[in-house]
């Protein structure tokens, strides 16, 4: 806005800049600043500016000595198969290693901006890695053999970045590809020649990936049998007109609701925006895939259809919707289905979560109304407050999404939609978390529930 007052004076404080912002309470009456989000952002700034100390609330220090190398080590928590490969010059920094996982994870940045959808710099990084590996080995490895289990990061500094969306999630500069590819290729080749033991560990991982890929190719043939029936099953998918990545101005607004059954799917379908919102109705409960290999996706139809609908079989770069929204009932069964879907994505498509594409739809639990006013409440506290305000009121408990009429549902998935983004601070610990909640340790979970009942 316009600067209305300016004053000069003396102060005992050190020179510097103070930036303050306060959310508008008329727009955000109950805003909450998430501590973990702030901490995550500060750590990213620390990794991108090695040697810089950042402080939160005056006492917590965020500091990185080795930049993106520290980022990778923090994310994998000591699970690397070989020492992190790290390179840095004035305009380009990258690091990578492998773990025993089968998914690929990347963290990419442009001028300090986290580009969770990657872009030309990330594509060039991948290409440079593959060229270096093939040149060093004298072989022609498939890109998938290199990428399965890789954890990498890249940061570039360029003068005129061009992003493919207003949110600056994906870099579009094509002119940087050449120098990024050549720099990465040369740096990685040099490292492998100077560190032969590390190189041997890298190629052991690549060869294991190669063997697994051949096994999966055989399993994929079964998927082709499913594919023939996809036209029948596609009745479960109500697609939208625009899609993520099709370069339309509506691409970033696209989302798909994964919901349970025809009842909830029907309400969503009748009230959705057909331009940007798709609906996929699940058939029954999702298979618990914890501890299962990727081959399971090709033998369990529901998992296969989800993967094919989202178009993430080979990479999330082909993701058809910007937001993948889990929309289940608010009862125990609905929460269980939500957990099964979370397990599916975290097990096989962790990058989808890491890049911020997975969400939970929040829908009201109660409707409180009289003859003049209707309130939709998302908690028992809000229900009680509205009931007191109205005095004599009719209170309805929504147990399932199908109980909400299409006319009512429209406002919950419109401009005021409430989405909770699924976020994870670190990839380390995910397996242990899934094992506790979704594994075979029923007695352990039972003891936890009994000891923590409120």
Domain ranges of the chain: 68-216, 229-363+398-439, 366-397
Whether the Cβ atoms of residue 351 and residue 103 lie closer than 8 Å to each other: yes
Give the H or E element holding residue 88: strand 85-88
Reported in sequence order, the residue ranges of 323-425 that DSSP labels E, i.e. its strands, are 323-327, 358-362, 366-369, 374-377, 394-397, 418-421
Within 10 angstroms of residue 200's Cβ, the number of other Cβ atoms is 11
Q: Measuring CA to CA, which residue among 173, 184, 202, 182 is closest to residue 94?
A: 184
Mean pLDDT estimate for the chain: 87
Say what the pLDDT of residue 425 is: 65
Query: Per-residue pLDDT tens for 63-114?
Result: 999 999 999 999 888 889 999 999 999 999 999 999 988 788 899 999 999 9
The three-state secondary structure class of 260 is: strand
Fold of 68-216: Ribosomal Protein S5; domain 2 (3.30.230)
How far is Cα 71 from Cα 52, in angstroms, rounded to an integer?
Answer: 14
* Three-point CA angle 127, 74, 137, nearest 5°: 30
User: How does 224-252 read in b/e, with b if 16+ C-beta sit within 10 Å?
Assistant: eebeeeeeebeebbbebebbbbeeeebbb
Query: Per-residue pLDDT tens for 100-140?
Result: 887 888 999 999 999 988 999 999 999 999 999 999 999 99
With the CA atoms of 20, 21, 22 and 23 taken in that order, what torsion angle do they form, in degrees rounded to the nearest 10? -170
Give the H or E element holding residue 406: helix 406-409
Query: Per-residue pLDDT tens for 224-270?
Result: 666 665 544 556 889 999 999 787 788 889 999 999 877 666 778 88
Query: Per-residue pLDDT tens for 218-229?
Result: 777 666 666 665
Fold of 229-363+398-439: Rossmann fold (3.40.50)
Tokens of 66: 């080795």
| pLDDT band, very low/low/confident/very high, at 274 (cuts 50, 70, 90) | very high
Tokens of 231: 């036209």
Say what the pLDDT of residue 263 is: 66
Say what the pLDDT of residue 48 is: 96
| pLDDT band, very low/low/confident/very high, at 421 (cuts 50, 70, 90) | very high
Q: Which residues pair with 362 in a beta bridge?
A: 418
Say what the pLDDT of residue 232 is: 46
Whether the Cβ atoms of residue 196 and residue 137 lie closer than 8 Å to each other: no
Mean pLDDT over residues 344-355, rounded?
89
């Amino acid at each position: 806005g316009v600067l209305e007052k300016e004053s000069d004076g003396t102060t005992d404080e050190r020179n510097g800049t103070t930036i303050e912002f306060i959310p508008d309470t008329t727009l955000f009456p109950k805003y909450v600043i998430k501590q973990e989000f702030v901490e995550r952002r500060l750590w990213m700034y620390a990794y991108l500016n090695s040697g810089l100390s950042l402080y939160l609330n005056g006492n917590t220090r965020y500091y990185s000595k080795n930049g993106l190398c520290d980022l990778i080590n923090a994310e994998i928590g000591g699970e690397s198969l070989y020492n992190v490969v790290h390179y840095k010059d004035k305009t380009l920094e990258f690091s990578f290693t492998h773990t025993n996982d089968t998914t690929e994870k990347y963290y990419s940045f442009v001028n300090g901006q986290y580009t969770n959808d990657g872009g030309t710099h990330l594509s060039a990084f991948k290409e440079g890695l593959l060229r270096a590996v093939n040149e060093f080995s004298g072989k022609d490895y498939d890109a998938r053999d290199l990428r399965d289990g890789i954890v990498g990061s890249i940061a570039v500094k360029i003068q005129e970045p061009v992003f493919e969306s207003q949110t600056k999630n994906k870099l579009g500069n094509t002119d940087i590809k050449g120098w990024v590819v050549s720099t990465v290729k040369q740096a990685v080749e040099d490292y492998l020649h100077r560190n032969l033991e590390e190189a041997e560990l890298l190629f052991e991982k690549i060869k294991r990936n190669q063997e697994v890929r051949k096994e999966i190719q055989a399993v994929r043939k079964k998927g082709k049998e499913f594919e023939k029936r996809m036209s029948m099953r596609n009745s479960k998918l109500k697609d939208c007109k625009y899609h993520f990545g099709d370069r339309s101005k509506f691409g970033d607004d696209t989302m798909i609701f994964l919901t349970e059954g025809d009842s909830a799917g029907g309400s969503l379908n009748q009230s959705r925006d057909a331009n940007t919102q798709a609906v996929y109705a699940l058939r029954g409960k999702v298979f618990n895939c914890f501890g299962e290999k990727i081959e399971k996706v090709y033998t369990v139809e529901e998992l296969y259809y989800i993967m094919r609908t989202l178009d993430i079989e080979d990479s999330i770069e082909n993701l058809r919707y910007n937001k993948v929204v889990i929309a289940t009932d608010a009862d125990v069964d609905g929460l269980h289905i939500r957990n099964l879907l979370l397990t599916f994505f975290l097990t096989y498509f962790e990058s989808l979560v890491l890049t911020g594409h997975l969400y939970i739809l929040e829908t009201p639990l109660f409707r409180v109304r009289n003859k003049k006013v209707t309130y939709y409440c998302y908690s028992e506290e809000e229900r009680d407050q509205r009931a007191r305000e109205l005095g004599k009121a009719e209170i309805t408990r929504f147990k399932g999404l199908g109980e909400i009429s299409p006319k009512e549902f429209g406002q919950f998935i419109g401009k005021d939609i409430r989405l909770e983004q699924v976020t994870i601070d670190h990839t380390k610990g995910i397996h242990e978390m899934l094992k506790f909640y979704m594994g075979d340790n029923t007695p352990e979970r039972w003891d936890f529930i009994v000891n923590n009942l409120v």
